[in-house]
Amino acid sequence: MTDAPVLVPATGPDTSGRSQWWDVWDQFKTHKGALFGAAVFLFIVLAVTLGPLVWTLEPTFIDIRARNSGPTLVHPFGTDQLGRDILARMMAGGQVSIAVGLTAMLISVLLGTLIGVTSGYFRRLDNVLMGLTNLFLALPLLPLLLVMVMLFRETLARSFGPEMGTFILIVSAIGVTSWMQTARIVRGEVLALKEREFVLAARSIGTPPRRMILRHVLPNVLSPIMVSATLGIATAIITESALSFLGLGFPPDFPTWGRLLFDAVDYLQQYPERVFWPGLAISLTVLSVNYIGDGLRDALDPRIRGR
Amino acid sequence: MVDIEHGAEVEPARPLVKIRDLKMYFPIHSGLFRTHVGDVKAVDGISFDIMPGETLGLVGESGCGKSTVGRSILRLYDVTAGTVEINGFEIAHVDRDSLRSKRPMMQMIFQDPQASLNPRMTVANIIGEPLDEHMKLSPEERLARIYELMDWVGLNHVFAKRYPHEFSGGQRQRIGVARALALNPKFIVCDEPIAALDVSIQAQVVNLLENLQKRLNLTYLFISHDLSMVRHIADRVAVMYLGRIVEIASREKLFAEPLHPYTQALLSAVPEPDPESERNRKPIVLQGDVPSPANPPKGCNFSTRCPKVMDICRQIEPGIYDFGDGRQVACHLYSESMTMTGEPTAGETTN
């Protein structure tokens, strides 16, 4: 059969000149939830980054006479027990919380994938790495986090400044203590993939392990990684709030969503609306990221794409 | 019969593939300390030769080690013992780097075309992977080579950007064949390449394999449990039972007059197309199951099920008896008439 290569296929448009990322985008667009999630997430990110330019009240400015005020025109979300504007604090806190969530998730997913893939692919390392994973799973995480904070807060604060230092500390502490689930899921998937015939075929070609992992293994474990990444953002935001609550996260006057939530818990009886805003923001962020992850996973799978 | 060009040479050609006493054991670990308690003897000391341009059919029932032989020959497993020589190069025990440079001459076609193609790669990338690994080609040269390979196996060029799930089983197997051909191999292991295909597609793929063999002078090890297909494509046939070769002979002789009791039973199970002779066919039904390869019986492996079993079969492992013309049988039935030989001889390819 020697058809001319210029032959146009009978079905579908000629996609030869198109990058496959356009196909990914086309599929992503068909996922309503993912589009909606992306819109919400974009809105939240824009609100917390560009919002302070419009709403110029300082999040740390104390107006003690206006304390515990309900929603008014001056303070649309009300004020807290010291009279600080909650809208401004929500925006400032959102920047930190989203940054912490994303960065900690990245660290934990990178670590989890690295350890999962190496332990699944190289049988010799499996016992050692899975032992390490189980060890980390068995560790009581909160005391461990406390020790890490005690040990490194001062040093990091000295070299990066108090806020940046705490950020690095918290992000790495959360990342280092939350990679285990990802590692175990990825290892299981890799063990199954390794026995598939296309991996054997690549071996018979002589593909070295490094390219084997990048070309054949990683793209096929993308779905579980994506799922644990989106769930990881939620866990990271919540762990950060727990740390702040224990007084081991950011300084008390430094707002994060978690901090706002825990401050508001004390006044739950009198002013329940104060729990509502940070809670809503955390839930919306987590939910929208989950939907984005769902859509991305579908869009990156050629079997689902174009259906 | 496939016409083999250099079958006319006066001097017998050197075998392309030379396998001696190949053993592949999979260790069994158990207990608290994962101690080594035994081995699954998937391949237990087999030897054969394949001449250039020849097709050797390897048949046997499920679990007898056919696929393991194919994979061990290509060093997809680290063999336990024995030597594999392809085109004069030792394969079984060389280090990874020198093995990598030998990979292009030996390739494999897999059983399940669904599982043997990475679902996240386009056809062009699948066929192009061997090229990326072993050749330095410009993007244009690479694409030209991919199109050439797609022409060889009869795939339309517009399929290049598509993904494996968009194809039928037969088309997928063609993609697998194109990938195997990419590096101009000399020797291809076909590991049940048609077992997962519809009957209507099987003939297509087998004809494609035959045409490519003629055109590119390929040598095949054709692993199959489909005896009629082996009869069609193979020049010589080796019959395996529980990790060992029990009989190896040219296609005509093996199908006309099987000597080993296992071969006889195997061939008697093939239905005859002619209803008259089908009525008179008396299949030899073997009793019992195949013994576990982790714990093979003493003496001859087939002694537990053999209809012609003798006392000696349960005690002593039979040697290989050579009948000349490349015909060898491992059975005590022929111990009186024949002298034993250790060295397998290559079958002369008949015309």
Residue A6 pLDDT: 41
Q: What is the pLDDT averaged over residues A258-285? A: 82
Q: Do A301 and B74 touch (CB under 8 A)?
A: no
Instruction: Kindly state whether residue A151 falls inside one of the protein's structural domains.
Output: yes
Is residue A237 a contact partner of residue A282, using CB atoms and an 8 Å limit?
yes
Q: What pLDDT, in 10s, does the model give residues B65-85?
A: 888 999 999 888 888 889 998
Residue B339 pLDDT: 54
Residue A2 pLDDT: 43
Q: Do B121 and A215 touch (CB under 8 A)?
A: yes
Q: Which pTM was predicted?
A: 0.79
Average pLDDT of chain A to the nearest whole number:
82
With CA atoms as reference, report the closest residue to B330 among B221, B239, B234, B224: B239
Note whether B130 contacts A: Cβ–Cβ < 8 A. yes
Which neighbouring-strand residues pair with B27? B39
Query: CB-hemisphere CA count at 13 Å for B290?
Result: 16
pLDDT classification of A261: cutoffs 50, 70, 90: confident
Q: Do B120 and A302 touch (CB under 8 A)?
A: yes
Average pLDDT of chain B to the nearest whole number:
85
Which of B100, B119, B158 comes nearest A9 by C-beta?
A: B158
Query: Residues of chain A with pLDDT > 90: what percent?
Result: 15
Q: Do A303 and B111 touch (CB under 8 A)?
A: no
Instruction: Kindly state whether residue A9 falls inside one of the protein's structural domains.
Output: no
pLDDT classification of B347: cutoffs 50, 70, 90: very low
Residue B338 pLDDT: 56
Is B52 or A54 the better-scoring residue by pLDDT? B52
d(CA B152, CA B174): 9
Q: What is the pLDDT averaged over residues B4-23? A: 70
pLDDT classification of B57: cutoffs 50, 70, 90: very high
Q: Do B120 and A16 touch (CB under 8 A)?
A: no
Residue B149 pLDDT: 92
* CB < 8 Å to A1, chain B: 151, 154-156
Residue A110 pLDDT: 93
pLDDT classification of B341: cutoffs 50, 70, 90: low
Residue A189 pLDDT: 92
Q: What is the pLDDT averaged over residues B99-107? A: 89
With a CB cutoff of 8 Å and minimum separation 6, the contacts of A126 are A119, A120, A187
Q: CA angle, corner A47, sides to A45 and A51, nearest 5? A: 135
Q: Do B133 and A196 touch (CB under 8 A)?
A: no
Q: Do B117 and A198 touch (CB under 8 A)?
A: yes
Q: What is the pLDDT averaged over residues A108-135? A: 91
Q: Does A265 score more than 60 pLDDT? A: yes
Q: What pLDDT, in 10s, does the model give residues B171-223?
A: 899 999 999 999 889 999 999 888 888 888 888 889 999 999 999 999 999 99
Instruction: Pick the residue from chain A with its C-alpha nearest to B96.
Output: A206
Instruction: Kindly state whether residue A6 falls inside one of the protein's structural domains.
Output: no
Residue A106 pLDDT: 92
Q: Does B87 score more than 60 pLDDT? A: yes
d(CA B64, CA B39): 15
Tokens describing residue A287: 């939910």
pLDDT classification of A19: cutoffs 50, 70, 90: low
Residue A117 pLDDT: 92
Q: Does A5 score more than 70 pLDDT? A: no
With CA atoms as reference, report the closest residue to A23 among A307, A284, A253, A305: A305
Residue A116 pLDDT: 93
Note whether B129 contacts A: Cβ–Cβ < 8 A. yes
Instruction: Kindly state whether residue A286 falls inside one of the protein's structural domains.
Output: yes
Residue A13 pLDDT: 41
Considering its fold, how many domains does chain A have in total?
Answer: 1
Residue B349 pLDDT: 41
A141-170 in b/e form (b: 16+ CB < 10 A) is beeebeebbeeebeebbeeeeeeebbbbbb
Residue A306 pLDDT: 59
Q: Does A171 score more than 70 pLDDT? A: yes
* CB < 8 Å to B120, chain A: 219-220, 301-302
CATH code for position A207:
1.10.3720.10
Is A268 or A211 the better-scoring residue by pLDDT? A211
Residue A187 pLDDT: 93
Is A192 or A73 the better-scoring residue by pLDDT? A192
Q: Does A42 score more than 90 pLDDT? A: yes
Is B240 or A228 the better-scoring residue by pLDDT? B240
Domain of A130 in residue numbering reads as 24-54+79-300
Q: Does B313 score more than 50 pLDDT? A: yes
- ipTM surpassing 0.90, yes or no? no
Give how far A138 is from chain B: nearest CA, Å.
Answer: 22
d(CA A197, CA A211): 16
* CB < 8 Å to A303, chain B: 119, 163, 165
Q: Do B156 and A220 touch (CB under 8 A)?
A: no
Q: What is the pLDDT averaged over residues A155-171? A: 84
Give the neighbor-by-neighbor strand order of the sheet with B244-250: B106-109, B187-191, B219-223, B55-59, B236-241, B244-250, B327-329, B321-324
Residue B337 pLDDT: 61
With a CB cutoff of 8 Å and minimum separation 6, the contacts of B345 are B49, B322, B326, B328
Rg of chain A over Cα atoms, rounded to whole angstroms, equals: 24
Q: What is the pLDDT averaged over residues B302-308? A: 87
Residue A114 pLDDT: 93
Note whether B158 contacts A: Cβ–Cβ < 8 A. yes
Residue B11 pLDDT: 54
Q: What is the pLDDT averaged over residues A244-259? A: 77
Instruction: Kindly state whether residue A258 falls inside one of the protein's structural domains.
Output: yes
Instruction: Kindly state whether residue A74 falls inside one of the protein's structural domains.
Output: no
Q: What pLDDT, in 10s, does the model give residues A130-140?
A: 999 999 889 88
Strand ranges in chain B using DSSP code E only, listed in sequence order: 17-30, 35-50, 55-59, 81-86, 89-90, 106-109, 187-191, 219-223, 236-241, 244-250, 321-324, 327-329
Instruction: Kindly state whether residue A10 falls inside one of the protein's structural domains.
Output: no
Residue A65 pLDDT: 74
With a CB cutoff of 8 Å and minimum separation 6, the contacts of B235 are B1, B2, B4, B54, B55, B56, B250, B251, B347, B349, B350
Instruction: Kindly state whether residue A60 falls inside one of the protein's structural domains.
Output: no
pLDDT classification of B351: cutoffs 50, 70, 90: very low
Q: Which of A75-84, A145-154, A265-274 is predicted least confidently?
A: A75-84
Residue B1 pLDDT: 43
